[in-house]
C-alpha cells in the first residue's frame, strides 16, 4: 500500500471530524466530488471502506478509528519538521485567543499585557462560543481557555486549575443562573449547595450578572478553595490547542505565556 498525497490523509482526518463529504469539502475549500474521489482512492489503497453511512452521516469503521491517531501523529511530526528553527514573537502578525467569559474577565487584561511586552502583533481576544472549537481546528484561533471536558482527539487540552463554587449576592433575592457556553447548559451544580434553589433568571453576560447581585444571588466559579460552599465543583479549567499544532513554536509561546499569566494571577489573588 502506498499513499502518494498527504492531502489524502488530511481529507481523511477532516472526514473523521465532520462525518460528511459536503462539510469536509466546504472546510477545505474543495468540491464535494473531489472529496468523494479522494475517499474512493483511500478505500482502495487501504483495502477498507473507512466509513459507512448512518443517520448521523459517515460513521468510521473500526480500522479508521485505529489509524486516525497514528495518522494525526505522523502529520504532526511532518508539520514540526517544516517549522523554521528560529522563532521570535516579534515576527508574529496576529494572536487570536477565545476565552470563557468569566475567565476572560479575570485573566484577559494580564494576558494582553504580557503579549504586548513581547510583540506588536494584532491581538484578538474574544468570548468562547460554540464555534470556538472548530475555529481552533481551522487555525483561525491560536488558543482557547475553557473548561476541561470531553473534546475530540484533534484538540489538545492542558489542565490549568481546579474550581470551587461560592454563593454570592443577595441571598434573600432570586437565584440567577449564569449560562456558560459548553459548560452548564444542562446542569445545575448550584443545587449541591442550595438544594431547594430554583433559577428564575438566566443570563449569559457576566457584566449583567454582576449588576444583578444587589437584588439576586448566584453561584460564582472560583479557583479551588477548601472553605467554599462547594469545594470540589468538578469543573477544571484548561487551555485548548489544535493537537497537530500544539508543539509548533507559536503555539508553545502562546501556551506558555497564557499559563504563566494564569499562575501569576492565582498566586496574587488566591481567593478569587
How far, in Å, CA of 212 to CA of 69, rounded? 47
Cβ atoms of residues 155 and 241 within 8 Å: yes
* Rounded Cα gap, residues 97 and 240, in angstroms: 10
Q: Same structural domain for residues 136 and 217?
A: yes
Please tell me whether residue 132 adopts helix, strand or coil conformation: helix
Q: What is residue 187's predicted lDDT score, i.e. its pLDDT? A: 82
Whole-model pTM over 0.95 = no
> What domain range is 76 assigned to?
6-82
Question: CA–CA separation, 57 vs 79, rounded Å?
Answer: 30
Q: List the grid coordinates of 154.
A: 484533534
Q: What is the CATH number of the domain that holds 241?
A: 3.40.190.290
**Per-residue pLDDT tens for 204-244?**
999 999 999 999 999 998 998 888 888 888 889 999 999 98
Residue 169 lies in a domain: yes
Confidence of residue 1 (pLDDT cuts 50, 70, 90): very low
Number of domains in the chain: 2
Give the Cβ contact number of residue 176 at 10 Å.
Answer: 21
Q: Is the pLDDT of residue 80 over 50?
A: yes
Question: Residue 205 falls within a domain, yes or no?
Answer: yes
Residues 178 and 246 in one domain: yes
The domain that holds 48 is classified in CATH as: 1.10.10.10
Amino acid at each position: 500500500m502506498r499513499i502518494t498525497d498527504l492531502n489524502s490523509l488530511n481529507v481523511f482526518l477532516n472526514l473523521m471530524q465532520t462525518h460528511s463529504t459536503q462539510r469536509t469539502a466546504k472546510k477545505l475549500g474543495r468540491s464535494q466530488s473531489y472529496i468523494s474521489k479522494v475517499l474512493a482512492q483511500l478505500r482502495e489503497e487501504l483495502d477498507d471502506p473507512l466509513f459507512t453511512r448512518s443517520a448521523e452521516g459517515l460513521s468510521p469503521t473500526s480500522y479508521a478509528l485505529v489509524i486516525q491517531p497514528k495518522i494525526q501523529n505522523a502529520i504532526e511530526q511532518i508539520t514540526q519538521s517544516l517549522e523554521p528553527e528560529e522563532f521570535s514573537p516579534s515576527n508574529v502578525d496576529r494572536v487570536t485567543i477565545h476565552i470563557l467569559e468569566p475567565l476572560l474577565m479575570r485573566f484577559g487584561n494580564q494576558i494582553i499585557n504580557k503579549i504586548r511586552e513581547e510583540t506588536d502583533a494584532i491581538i484578538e481576544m474574544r468570548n468562547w462560543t460554540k464555534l470556538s472549537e472548530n475555529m481552533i481546528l481551522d487555525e483561525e484561533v491560536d488558543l482557547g481557555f475553557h473548561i476541561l471536558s470531553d473534546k475530540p482527539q484533534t484538540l489538545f487540552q492542558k489542565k490549568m486549575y481546579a474550581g470551587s463554587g461560592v454563593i454570592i449576592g443577595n441571598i434573600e433575592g432570586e437565584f440567577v443562573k449564569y449560562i456558560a457556553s459548553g459548560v452548564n447548559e444542562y446542569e445545575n451544580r448550584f443545587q449541591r449547595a442550595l438544594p431547594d434553589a430554583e433559577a428564575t433568571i438566566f443570563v449569559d453576560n457576566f457584566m449583567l450578572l454582576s449588576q444583578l447581585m444587589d437584588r439576586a444571588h448566584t453561584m460564582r466559579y472560583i479557583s479551588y478553595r477548601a472553605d467554599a460552599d462547594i469545594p470540589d465543583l468538578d469543573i477544571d479549567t484548561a487551555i485548548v490547542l489544535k493537537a497537530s499544532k500544539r508543539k509548533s513554536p507559536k503555539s508553545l509561546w502562546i501556551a506558555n505565556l497564557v499559563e504563566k499569566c494564569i499562575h501569576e494571577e492565582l498566586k496574587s489573588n488566591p481567593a478569587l
